[in-house]
Structure 1
């Protein structure tokens, strides 16, 4: 038996925007931080796949800068302003269609939605590259199987371990019945979705259709014009299904393509089928309810993400990670 080796540092598990925000604040506060992720790429639900050699967003639909965004360099407004200035993000649209259950449509004005020309994952890559340039260790395809209440992971004792991921995934890593586990939501409290990417030879919808919330559909929840979102005009739509539809096809997501394509045809008012379609499964896409606080910190374990805040959003994930990083740094520095 060997005792855990001491390590005055913080381990961040998860390289989505919450984990990267937390790592940034910790590093800038003088705390040694290590980031690991089981995936092959950074980004988490800032997910982008390539279809016909162009990026298509299959995770986060867009992001906004809420009025409640914290001021200063760690506020999300400052982050987005920097992305826009460097051409990594751009204002997309402030109007979406809203489809009523009876099929009627209304175009509604809302906050400015931002998009990333190279896909939202490019924003996570930017954050990760900056951390690496500053000497922060970031390891991909690194599986963490468990975290002790004392912050021990694989024989290393950390001052704190941050779980930057959906609650159900975080619960699997902590001790059952622990105060952290009891504070987290279970799988039944999170909503799944499927993201179906459909490509047509040419655009079959008007240019002013940036995206649409679909109410009353058993299949569609949101449809985004990805060509409009990217700014290249490609005839690509991304359809996010309702949780009920996703649950029906979670074990075999490919079986959902046909009914989603049919629903998209009805939505567009056309019988022309897409030239190709693919699907991505998100088992824990959205929390059914939000936590009252903007992060969790119990002893040596912290949890952050888009469930910790007023509403599930990219800005919430950033703010949650940044606030947790600040809270941990305050106890260590």
Structure 2
């Protein structure tokens, strides 16, 4: 394992799963790094929302209700998360959920790392072989961070392009070719019409009503808490709707889909809580069969879920994580 030279410092734009994976790998290799994230909390879509309904608290993993592993590399990673208590196995093979919530995973990964939250990088500039960053610190302060040897974009393609354009820097053709699509989700608490009705942890749907999947977050004899994820096609078609307009449509479609596996027991009157959420940059519209992008001349890298790996097998969280590892390896290799 190579050790870094004293001047090596890496700036990582984005503290989602890909950025955190990159930072942890760099730290293991002795390379200093700082993560900058525009959000108030880290993790990107690995987020959790907690609400109280009828005196009871419910947690919704509304960004990533479940994480899947297609490759042996990521299977080993999620097995480690389960062993450390940050995740639990679901009924499906090679699938996990965060424990006690999805937010636990990025919180554990961020332990010991330098993370600057509420810090939106707006431009970068190269001087004397180093990168300087200008960040908008919420609510209204502009801060400059100087002298990073490398910069890594671990954020959606649109955000990376925006920074490069503002910095009057060229955009790699691979980055220019990728865009993100939205995802509508809805968090529901429903009263059970039959106390003996117990749902599987994940219900796959055929998208006939626009529903892609239903993930059961909690259930007892009286109630069930669900995260409903709408299909890509439905989400893109309804992208312009407000939350208030989308919520009843998703709720009706969800109950229709649920009733196909639950004998038609559920009606709108059984819904005790409903809240829709739109992820504007949820997932890439296409993926590149590469592990990451890295320019040795510029010392600039890109990682995220828009990379499918050299054999095209990576998807979603797996792609984000393994891509972050890959760009860290490139930095260490050329350090």
TM-score using structure 1 length: 0.81
Query: Shift in Å at residue 181 of structure 1?
Result: 4.3
Query: Shift in Å at residue 119 of structure 1?
Result: 1.4
Q: Tell me: CA distance 1:203–1:197, structure 2 relative to 1, closer, same or farther (3 Å).
A: farther
Query: Any idea what SS the aligned residue of 2:250 has?
Result: helix
* 1:190 to 2:180 alignment: yes
Q: Aligned runs of 1:225-240 on 2, under 5 Å?
A: 225-227=216-218, 235-240=224-229
Paired position in structure 2 for 1:45: 45
**Among residues 190, 200, 210, which one is paired with 1:209 in the alignment?**
200
Q: Tell me: CA distance 1:250–1:147, structure 2 relative to 1, closer, same or farther (3 Å).
A: farther
* 1:295 to 2:284 alignment: no
Q: Tell me: CA distance 1:120–1:12, structure 2 relative to 1, closer, same or farther (3 Å).
A: same
Alignment deviations for residues 291-328 of structure 1 (CA, whole Å, 9 cap, x no partner): 11011112222111111123432122111101111111
Query: Shift in Å at residue 275 of structure 1?
Result: 0.9
**Among residues 121, 135, 138, which one is paired with 1:144 in the alignment?**
121
Paired position in structure 1 for 2:3: none
Query: Shift in Å at residue 124 of structure 1?
Result: 0.3
Query: Shift in Å at residue 8 of structure 1?
Result: 3.5
Q: How far, CA to CA, are the matches of 1:246 and 1:182 in structure 2? A: 27
Q: Aligned runs of 1:110-149 on 2, under 5 Å?
A: 111-129=93-111, 132=112, 136-148=113-125
Instruction: Decide whether the 8 Å contact of 2:86 with 2:105 is kept in 1.
Output: yes
Query: Shift in Å at residue 153 of structure 1?
Result: 1.2
Q: Tell me: CA distance 1:120–1:234, structure 2 relative to 1, closer, same or farther (3 Å).
A: farther
Paired position in structure 1 for 2:87: 89
List alignment gaps of at least 5 residues for structure 1: 1-5, 70-75, 95-110
Instruction: Decide whether the 8 Å contact of 2:185 with 2:228 is kept in 1.
Output: yes
Q: How far, CA to CA, are the matches of 1:264 and 1:13 in structure 2? A: 36
**Among residues 138, 148, 153, which one is paired with 1:158 in the alignment?**
148
TM-score using structure 2 length: 0.80
**Number of residues of Structure 1 aligned to a counterpart in Structure 2:** 297
Query: Any idea what SS the aligned residue of 2:124 has?
Result: coil
Q: Aligned runs of 1:222-301 on 2, under 5 Å?
A: 222-227=213-218, 235-247=224-236, 248-267=238-257, 268=259, 269=264, 270-273=266-269, 274-298=271-295, 299-301=298-300
Query: Shift in Å at residue 42 of structure 1?
Result: 1.0
Q: How far, CA to CA, are the matches of 1:191 and 1:308 in structure 2? A: 15
Paired position in structure 2 for 1:11: 11
Instruction: Decide whether the 8 Å contact of 1:15 with 1:36 is kept in 2.
Output: yes
Q: Tell me: CA distance 1:203–1:88, structure 2 relative to 1, closer, same or farther (3 Å).
A: farther
Q: How far, CA to CA, are the matches of 1:11 and 1:115 in structure 2? A: 29
Query: Shift in Å at residue 221 of structure 1?
Result: 1.7
Alignment deviations for residues 265-301 of structure 1 (CA, whole Å, 9 cap, x no partner): 2122322441110112111212121111011112222
Query: Any idea what SS the aligned residue of 2:149 has?
Result: strand
Query: Shift in Å at residue 226 of structure 1?
Result: 1.6
Q: How far, CA to CA, are the matches of 2:193 and 2:78 in structure 1? A: 30
Instruction: Decide whether the 8 Å contact of 2:59 with 2:101 is kept in 1.
Output: yes
Does 1 or 2 have the higher relative contact order (CA < 8 Å, sep 6+)?
A: 1
Query: Any idea what SS the aligned residue of 2:107 has?
Result: helix
* 1:28 to 2:23 alignment: no
Query: Any idea what SS the aligned residue of 2:334 has?
Result: helix
Query: Any idea what SS the aligned residue of 1:59 has?
Result: coil
Instruction: Decide whether the 8 Å contact of 1:195 with 1:240 is kept in 2.
Output: yes
